């Protein structure tokens, strides 16, 4: 009997991902500072998606009495060895499974998870409801988004127009409508912004989450250029004095977090001083199919683009029918 795709993913650890996480000193130093600032001696800590166990060990160093480290992939076996090698096996209790499906023997004073917007929301909302003490603390505790219209032929070519031309004598154009509706990670420089970034209202993880969050705004173009799409980036509040966000001034490979690029179906030329109308919405846990769906629309000089990451999913008619029927 063959293994399911989910089971196979659970068996094979993504060592490249763990290398990237551990080697990013900016991110880990900020988590270390936030955990030391938050965890008090004797606290019970829940580490969701512990991975290599680094944040569980940080919590032990901060004085936690017990850490419940939850991980659904096989890397948990290595995390146990790391905890033992560093003298923390008595304090860290590892639980293999998804955080939404487990039970804890006691409530936690602090719950921590790595940042990845939609999964962070889902995991922390569930942890708040089931595992956290009334006065417990979440790491991160909130997030706010910043948005800006951007011009970058390089990023657009890599993420969308790559599929517009023949390669190896093969026409790949059928990919393009899907990639044009797909949010992509990208790195933008300050010079790529066509307007000053705007901050949108903060989402507090300790309050009930709406299945939809949305924003409307206008941007005034600061220069004449081709508009390729929107850049957005989250700013996570890890603790009272620690924030984790992209460095929008430099956009270098050393930034803690990349930007998210929401492309237009085709670039348009905008002129300095003219306004763009922008609407953005995020839907969560859509039909149990994806963690989130992004929708974005841009209006300029009578032209309107309305796009959705749902359109980036190459779903068959059978699956679409099942979703429409709620099955």
Residue 93 parent element (H or E):
strand 92-96
Of 120-134, 272-286, 297-311, least confident by mean pLDDT is: 120-134
In this structure, which topology does domain 143-324 adopt according to CATH?
Answer: 2.70.160
Residue 319 parent element (H or E):
helix 317-324
8 band by pLDDT with thresholds 50, 70 and 90? very low
Output Rg (C-alpha) for the chain, integer angstroms.
22
Stretch 34-39: mean pLDDT: 98
Stretch 267-290: mean pLDDT: 85
Domain 5-139: CATH superfamily is Vaccinia Virus protein VP39 (3.40.50.150)
Stretch 110-133: mean pLDDT: 79
Does the structure show a pLDDT above 90 at 101? Answer: no
Of 39-53, 199-213, 238-252, 304-318, least confident by mean pLDDT is: 238-252
Closest residue by Cα to residue 238 from 62, 33, 49: 33
Q: What is the 3 state secondary structure string of 54-84?
A: HHHHHHHHCCCCEEEEEECCCHHHHHHHHHH
Within 10 angstroms of residue 105's Cβ, the number of other Cβ atoms is 8
pLDDT recorded at residue 224: 97
Closest residue by Cα to residue 156 from 239, 264, 80: 264
Structure tokens at 304: 């309107």
pLDDT recorded at residue 291: 72
Stretch 180-197: mean pLDDT: 93
**Exposure of 46 in the CB half-sphere (CA atoms within 13 A):** 27
Percentage of residues of the chain with pLDDT beyond 90: 60
pLDDT recorded at residue 292: 81
5 band by pLDDT with thresholds 50, 70 and 90? very low
pLDDT: which is higher, 246 or 237: 237
252 band by pLDDT with thresholds 50, 70 and 90? very low
Of 32-36, 88-92, 202-206, least confident by mean pLDDT is: 202-206
Of 169-183, 185-199, 239-253, least confident by mean pLDDT is: 239-253
pLDDT recorded at residue 270: 96
Distance of CA 272 to the CA centre of its chain: 32
Which residues does 77 contact at the CB level (< 8 Å), separation at least 6?
Answer: none
pLDDT recorded at residue 250: 43
133 band by pLDDT with thresholds 50, 70 and 90? very high
1 band by pLDDT with thresholds 50, 70 and 90? very low
322 band by pLDDT with thresholds 50, 70 and 90? low
Stretch 108-112: mean pLDDT: 96
pLDDT recorded at residue 285: 64
User: Across all residues in the chain, what is the average pLDDT?
Assistant: 86
Query: Where are the chain's structural domains?
Result: 5-139, 143-324
Does the structure show a pLDDT above 60 at 256? Answer: no
């Amino acid at each position: 009997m063959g293994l399911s795709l989910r089971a196979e993913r659970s068996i094979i650890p993504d060592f490249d991902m763990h290398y990237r996480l551990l080697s990013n000193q900016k991110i880990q130093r900020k988590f270390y500072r936030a955990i030391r600032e938050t965890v008090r001696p004797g606290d019970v800590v829940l580490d969701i998606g512990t991975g290599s166990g680094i944040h569980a060990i940080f919590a032990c160093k901060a004085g936690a009495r017990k850490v419940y480290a939850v991980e659904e992939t096989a890397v948990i076996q290595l995390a146990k060895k790391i905890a033992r090698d560093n003298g923390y096996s008595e304090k860290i209790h590892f639980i293999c499974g998804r955080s939404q499906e487990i039970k804890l023997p006691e409530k936690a004073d602090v719950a921590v998870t790595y940042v990845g917007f939609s999964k962070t929301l889902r995991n922390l909302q569930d942890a708040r409801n089931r595992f956290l003490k009334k006065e417990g603390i979440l790491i991160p505790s909130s997030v706010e988004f910043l948005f800006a219209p951007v011009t970058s032929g390089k990023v657009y070519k890599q993420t969308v127009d790559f599929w517009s031309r023949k390669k190896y004598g093969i026409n790949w154009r059928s990919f393009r409508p899907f990639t044009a509706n797909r949010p992509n990670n990208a790195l933008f420089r300050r010079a790529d912004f066509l307007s000053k970034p705007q901050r949108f209202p903060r989402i507090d993880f300790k309050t009930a989450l709406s299945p939809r969050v949305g924003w409307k705004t206008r941007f005034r173009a600061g220069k004449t250029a081709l508009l390729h799409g929107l850049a957005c980036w989250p700013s996570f509040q890890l603790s009272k004095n620690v924030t984790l966000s992209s460095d929008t001034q430099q956009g270098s490979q050393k930034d803690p977090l990349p930007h998210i690029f929401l492309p237009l179906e085709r670039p348009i030329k905008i002129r300095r001083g003219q306004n763009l109308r922008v609407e953005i919405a995020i839907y969560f846990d859509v039909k149990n199919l994806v963690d989130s769906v992004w929708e974005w629309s841009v209006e300029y000089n009578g032209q309107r683009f309305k796009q959705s990451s749902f359109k980036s999913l190459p779903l068959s008619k059978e699956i679409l029918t099942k979703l429409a029927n709620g099955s």
